[in-house]
C-alpha cells in the first residue's frame, strides 16, 4: 500500500511544481492579498505550493500539515528557511487530538471530518477515493496560532471538510483568507460565509480549481457569494473562495 501513497505524493509534487507559469499566476492572484513582509498561515500546506508563493512575495509563513509524509517533504524543502515555521498539526474548533482519515492513493483528500467523507464519497468525483483510519494527530486553533505567532495578513485554509471547524476556532476578523468550496458540500462553504459574517464585514471572490485566477471582476457581497454557491452545478469542479475585509 505504501507504493500507492508514494505515487500519490509524486503526483502532487508534479502537479504543483512541474507545471510552467503556475508560480507566476499564483503570485499575481495573491498580489493584492499578501503584503511584502507580511505574515501568512498556510493551513493544510500539503507539498508547499502556496508556502513557496508566499515566500517569493517576501512574507513569513506558518505552515501546518498533519500528514507525516507531507510534513517531512515540507521540512526537506523549506525547513532551513528562518522565515518558515512548519507545524505537524491540524486545526479545528478546539485544541486536542483527532483521527485523520487518509486516502492512500489520493492523499490530497485526507480529512478529519467523517460526515464530509460520507457526503462527498458518493459523488462522481470521489467514487474512486477510499478512506481509512490513519494516525491520531494533534489539533490546535487559529486563535492559539495567533497568540503564538501574531495576527496574519492572509490565511489559506485547505482542510477537506474541516473549514467550518477551523473558522470556529477564530474569534477575531482577519484581513484576508481563503477556504475551499466543493459543489457536493456547498453547505460547508455557506457556513463559512455565515461564520465570517459574525466576525467582520467581508467581500468574496472565487478561483476555480488550480487556475490561480479570480472568477469575478468584482468582489461580491456575502449574499451574492451564497447565491453563487447555490447556483453551482454538482458537476462543477472545486475551488477556493477568497474573503477580504470590505474596503468600502
Q: For the chain, how many residues are written?
A: 248
- What is the per-residue pLDDT for 233? 86
- What is the per-residue pLDDT for 16? 57
- What is the per-residue pLDDT for 55? 97
In three-state secondary structure terms, 182 is: coil
- What is the per-residue pLDDT for 11? 58
Q: In sequence order, which residues have a C-beta less than 8 Å from that of residue 129 and are 6 or more positions away?
A: 103, 105, 106, 109, 121
Query: The dihedral of CA 194, 49, 185, 131: what is its sign?
Result: negative
In whole angstroms, give the CA distance from residue 153 to residue 171. Answer: 15
248 residues of the chain, pLDDT tens digit each: 555 555 555 555 555 565 666 788 999 999 999 998 999 999 999 989 999 999 999 999 999 999 988 999 999 999 999 999 999 999 999 999 999 888 877 777 787 878 877 787 767 777 777 878 788 999 999 999 999 999 999 999 999 889 999 999 999 999 999 999 988 889 999 999 999 999 999 999 999 988 999 999 999 999 999 999 999 987 888 899 999 998 76
- What is the per-residue pLDDT for 195? 97
Q: What pTM did the predictor assign?
A: 0.89
For the stretch 109-115, contacts whose Cβ atoms lie closer than 8 Å and that sit 24 or more positions apart, written own/partner, are 109/160, 110/67, 110/134, 110/160, 111/159, 111/160, 111/161, 111/162, 112/137, 112/139, 112/159, 112/161, 112/162, 113/160, 113/161, 113/162, 113/165, 115/161
Output the furthest CA–CA distance in the chain (Å, rounded).
53
Fold classified for 2-245: Rossmann fold (3.40.50)
E-strand stretches of the chain: 39-43, 60-64, 84-87, 90-91, 96-102, 132-140, 154-157, 176-181, 202-208, 239-245
In whole angstroms, give the CA distance from residue 216 to residue 213. Answer: 9
- What is the per-residue pLDDT for 164? 95
- What is the per-residue pLDDT for 5? 54
- What is the per-residue pLDDT for 214? 96
Q: Are 54 and 30 in contact (CB under 8 A)?
A: yes
Amino acid at each position: 500500500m505504501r507504493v500507492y501513497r508514494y505515487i500519490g505524493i509524486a503526483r502532487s509534487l508534479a502537479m504543483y511544481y512541474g507545471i510552467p507559469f503556475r508560480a507566476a499566476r499564483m503570485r499575481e492572484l495573491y498580489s493584492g492579498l499578501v503584503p511584502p513582509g507580511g505574515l501568512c498561515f498556510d493551513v493544510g500546506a500539503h507539498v508547499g505550493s502556496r508556502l513557496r508563493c508566499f515566500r517569493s512575495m517576501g512574507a513569513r509563513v506558518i505552515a501546518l500539515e498533519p500528514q507525516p509524509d507531507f510534513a517531512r517533504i515540507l521540512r526537506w524543502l523549506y525547513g532551513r528557511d528562518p522565515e518558515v515555521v512548519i507545524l505537524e498539526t491540524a486545526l479545528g474548533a478546539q485544541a486536542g487530538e483527532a483521527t485523520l482519515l487518509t486516502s492512500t492513493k489520493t492523499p490530497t483528500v485526507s480529512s478529519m471530518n467523517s460526515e464530509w467523507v460520507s457526503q462527498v464519497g458518493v459523488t462522481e468525483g470521489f467514487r474512486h477515493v477510499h478512506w481509512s483510519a490513519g494516525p491520531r494527530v494533534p489539533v490546535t486553533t487559529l486563535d492559539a496560532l495567533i497568540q503564538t505567532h501574531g495576527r496574519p495578513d492572509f490565511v489559506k485554509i485547505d482542510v477537506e471538510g474541516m473549514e467550518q471547524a477551523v473558522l470556529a476556532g477564530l474569534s477575531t476578523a482577519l484581513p484576508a483568507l481563503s477556504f475551499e468550496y466543493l459543489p457536493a458540500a456547498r453547505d460547508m462553504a455557506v457556513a463559512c460565509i455565515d461564520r465570517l459574517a459574525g466576525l467582520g464585514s467581508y467581500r468574496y471572490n472565487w478561483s476555480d480549481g488550480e487556475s490561480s485566477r479570480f472568477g469575478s471582476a468584482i468582489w461580491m457581497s456575502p449574499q451574492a457569494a451564497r447565491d453563487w454557491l447555490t447556483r453551482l452545478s454538482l458537476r462543477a469542479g472545486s475551488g477556493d473562495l477568497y474573503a477580504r475585509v470590505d474596503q468600502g
